[in-house]
Every structure is written in C-alpha cells, then in structure tokens.
Amino acid sequence: MENREKLSSFFAVLIVGFIFDRVLYAGLQGLGLTIFTLCFVALFYIMLSDKLKLKNNKRLLLLIPLVIIAIRSSIYNSEPIYCLNLIALPTLVIGTILALWYEKVEYYKPKFIGLMLVHIFEHTLNNISTPFKVIKERFSSKENKKIQIKPQVLTGILISIPLVLVILIFLSSADEVFNYYASEFFQTINIFNNQSIVNILSHIFVIFVASVYFFTFFWGISEKTELEQTSSLSSKIDPITMSIPVTALNIIYLFFSIIQFSYLYGDGTLPVDFTYAEYARRGFFELVAVTLINFTIIIIGINHTKPCSEKLSSFCKVLYTLLAIFTLNMLYSAHYKMSLYEKSYGYTYLRVYVHLFMVLLLILIMISMVSIWYKVLNLPKAIVVMTLVFYTFLNIINVDAFIAKRNIALYKEKNKIDLVYLTDLSVDALPYIEEFIKENPEASSEYIERKLQEKRSSVSSDNDDFLTRLLKFNINKARIK
C-alpha cells in the first residue's frame, strides 16, 4: 500500500487541517504560522516519502530560506514584510515541493509558475473526489471484513457531513432559539471551549475543506512523476536588431551621465532655483524603473538572441557591458537622490525598501555583467537564487528597529523627528522609541504617549484562550509584555 493511502496520511491531513483552522482563527501570525508551514512540508513527506528521491538532492537547500521565512513570523512584526510573506511563503512552499518532486524541472524559468498554478487549481480540483473514494475502498475492501461498510452507506455519510455542517450554520444564524439549544448541546459535551454553535460549525467546516484540499493537492502531485513535454515556441532575436536600440540607449545614457558628472561626482553646483532637497525629491523612482528596463534588455540580449559570428557577438557583448555600466551609474544616482531625501525628511518603510531593492538590482546587474562574457553562468538560475537569498536576508533583519534608530540619530543632528510616523511602526521599534522619549521628553506629546500606551496595551491583551495565545506567540511582543 502506498503512503498516500494509509490511515496515517488521513490522520496527518486532519491534524494539518486542524492546525490551519486554528492559525487562521489566530490571524495567520506568530508561532502558529511557523508551525503550520513546517507541518505542511512534513505532510508532503508523510504522504509521498515512498516515491521521493531526496538522497544527495541539492534542492533540499531550498528548505533553508523556507524555514527562515517561516520562523520570522514568530520573531518580528514588520507589516510590509508580513504582507509580502503571505504571498511569498505559500509560493515558496509549493515551489520547493514541486522542485523536490520533479527532478528535471527548471524552477528558475517562467514556465515553472504555470506548473505551480496547474497543481494548485487543475490537478487538485481534478482529484477532489479522491479522498472519499479512497476511504470508501478502504472500508469496503475484503481485507477489512470486520469493519466492512456498504459503499452506498459510506457515500451517503461522506455527502452528509459537509451538507449538514452548512445547513446547521445557516439555521443557527437564522433562529436564536435553535442556536441556543445547539450551543447548549456542544457545551454539555464540553468541546470547542464553549463557543457558539455557528463558530463551532465554522471551525469544523474549515477543517473539513482544508483537509480535503491538502489531501487532493498532494494526491495530484503524486499522479505526475514526469513533466509533460511542451514544444518551445520562444523565438530568438537577431543580434543586429538587438544592437540598434541598445546603441541608441547607450548614446542617450552617455549624455545623461555627462550632465550628472558635473554635480553628482564633481564639485559642480545644481542649476539655479534647485535645492538639494528638491533635487532629491524627484527622480529616484524613475531611475529605478529605467534600471529595471535596462536589466531586462540585458537579460534578453544574453539569453534570447540568435547565434552569430564571433565579431558581431563581441560587439554585442561590448554594447551590453556599456549598458550595464550606465545602468550602474543610474543606480548610484538613484541611491544618491534617496540618501539626500532621507537626510532631509527621515527614514520610512518605502524609502528603506527602495534602497534595499536598489542593492538587489546592483547585485543582479553585476551577475549579468559576468554572464555577458562567461556563458558558463546560468543567468536565470543565478537571478532566482540570489533574489531568494536576498529576500531571506530581508526576513532576518529588524527593519522597524532600523528605521527608528536612524530617525533618532537624525534628531541628534537636525533636532527634528516625526514621532507620529514612528509610533505607527510595529512593536519591534517600541523599545527604541520609548527609550528616546525617556531621554528627550520635550520631543513627545500627550498624543504620542497615548498612542504608545495603546500599542503596549494591545500587545498585553490576554483575552484569548491558551491555544490561540500560543499560536499568536511572538518573541518581540513577549519581551514587551
């Protein structure tokens, strides 16, 4: 019998479904999100370990960023990264599972996204009835004569469970008296912590739907051991065609760089009626956008041009290298503008993350420059791996604390600070803000004190039951308590 058909797999699916319900109820945060992520990956191993080939599989390294990003939710509370992780974490989990399952899949190519979507929706929905069929076969097989149940009866029971749950939820919401007696029944048998019947049935429904989906998702994966071969329709661009726009861009960027050299690198001054604050306010987003366009052109030039003569190839390589150098110049210009802006107006989420994104672009452009001359380097793979490493780094650093500390340092220089903004940061920055106010009470106000007290009170709230508090557990919040 295959692992996916064993009772242990069904129990594991139900446990993960229960954990998902509790984590969802707790708000997809804290220790609970970490536990659910790790349990979901463990479920993959429990159901399909008999078919997996993990020995000497370098793709197991993908589990390192996955675990780090999963653990982050139980340490930090930065809102932007949390929102990104709600997309990035399930994407990384599913991507890692498929990369481990399909030995020959090229996870660094765009078509891998299509493979993920096919498994999330098509293969899963195609197998939606599978868990019921497997249970039916298990109980009606000759091997289980002692517990043999007629297939018709079992099918009826399986259909009844979700139907009864939905009807009970609607009836309990529609009639207060029915809701009262149903709630009393569940309280009598003392389950679900004395919650209302609607909440109880909602929990059961979520557990049921989640468990069925998880089972069918992994079953759908197990049905496909080899990738379907698809004809490659990607057309190559002629190098001469590619060289014309790249040459035009290089000429434009040359003039742009000459103008910038007068005040960006040398001792020149800005044009009349321009202040450095006004200069800094404009342009860095546009420069980052141009950098992205150039980076895309370089990738197309390296990977999607037709083979050509050695002379033409060398000429194109020089053009791409010049484009990369001009791009680095624009990236530095964007960095310079952003630095001026931060010194004038302070640090915020947007400014810090734009700066970090520019660092990533710098690394990727440097990798591209190497790839222009050394074809041995697999550029798409290098880009995906480096982006994943960089995103993992973002999950390790305490961005909110960094913003608070940098703004406090600016206060010592300019005697100006936006405490209203700082109090909107997560509790990760709270100790630094409170310490600053203690040392500089004149910078605070009654409104600021009230906001800080509200933030601290919200962290210290203990109205939830023990399990919910455990799933919401967060190290930085626990320190504040």
**pTM for the whole structure:** 0.84
* Residue 199 scores a pLDDT above 90: no
Each residue of 295-344: pLDDT tens digit?
899 998 888 888 888 898 899 999 999 999 999 988 888 888 788 788 88
Whether residue 78 lies inside any domain: the answer is yes
Give percent of the chain with pLDDT exceeding 70: 81
pLDDT at 387: 95
> Quick one: average pLDDT of 384-400?
96
State how many domains the chain has.
Answer: 3
Q: Which of 222, 257, 279 is the last residue of a domain?
A: 222
Each residue of 153-177: pLDDT tens digit?
656 666 676 677 677 767 767 767 7
Q: Residue 404 — very low, low, confident or very high, per pLDDT cuts 50/70/90?
A: very high
Task: Please give the Cα distance from 74 to 71 (Å, whole number).
Answer: 6
Each residue of 107-136: pLDDT tens digit?
998 899 999 999 999 888 888 888 888 877
Six-digit token string for 215? 């089972």
Whether residue 232 lies inside any domain: the answer is no
Top-confidence range, 45-54, 181-190, 237-246, 382-391: 382-391
User: 79-83, 306-310, 313-317, 396-400: which has the minimum mean pLDDT?
Assistant: 306-310
Whether residue 122 lies inside any domain: the answer is yes
Q: Which of 222, 250, 273 is the last residue of a domain?
A: 222
> Quick one: average pLDDT of 52-68?
91
Whether residue 124 lies inside any domain: the answer is yes
Contact 382, 367 (CB under 8 A): yes
Looking at the structure, tell me whether residues 368 and 347 fall in a common domain: yes
**In terms of C-beta distances under 8 Å and separation of at least 24 residues, what long-range contacts does 301-307 make, across chains too?**
301/242, 301/246, 302/368, 302/371, 302/372, 302/379, 303/379, 303/380, 304/234, 304/236, 304/237, 305/236, 305/237, 305/238, 305/239, 305/242, 306/236, 306/237, 306/238, 306/239
Contact 198, 172 (CB under 8 A): yes
> Quick one: average pLDDT of 56-66?
92
Whether residue 233 lies inside any domain: the answer is no
> Quick one: average pLDDT of 386-399?
96
Whether residue 322 lies inside any domain: the answer is yes
Whether residue 146 lies inside any domain: the answer is yes
Owning domain of residue 453: 400-480
The phi, psi pair for 347, rounded to 5°, reads -105, 135
Q: Residue 233 — very low, low, confident or very high, per pLDDT cuts 50/70/90?
A: very low
Six-digit token string for 165? 């749950």
Each residue of 27-41: pLDDT tens digit?
898 999 999 999 999
Q: Which of 359, 377, 397 is the last residue of a domain?
A: 397
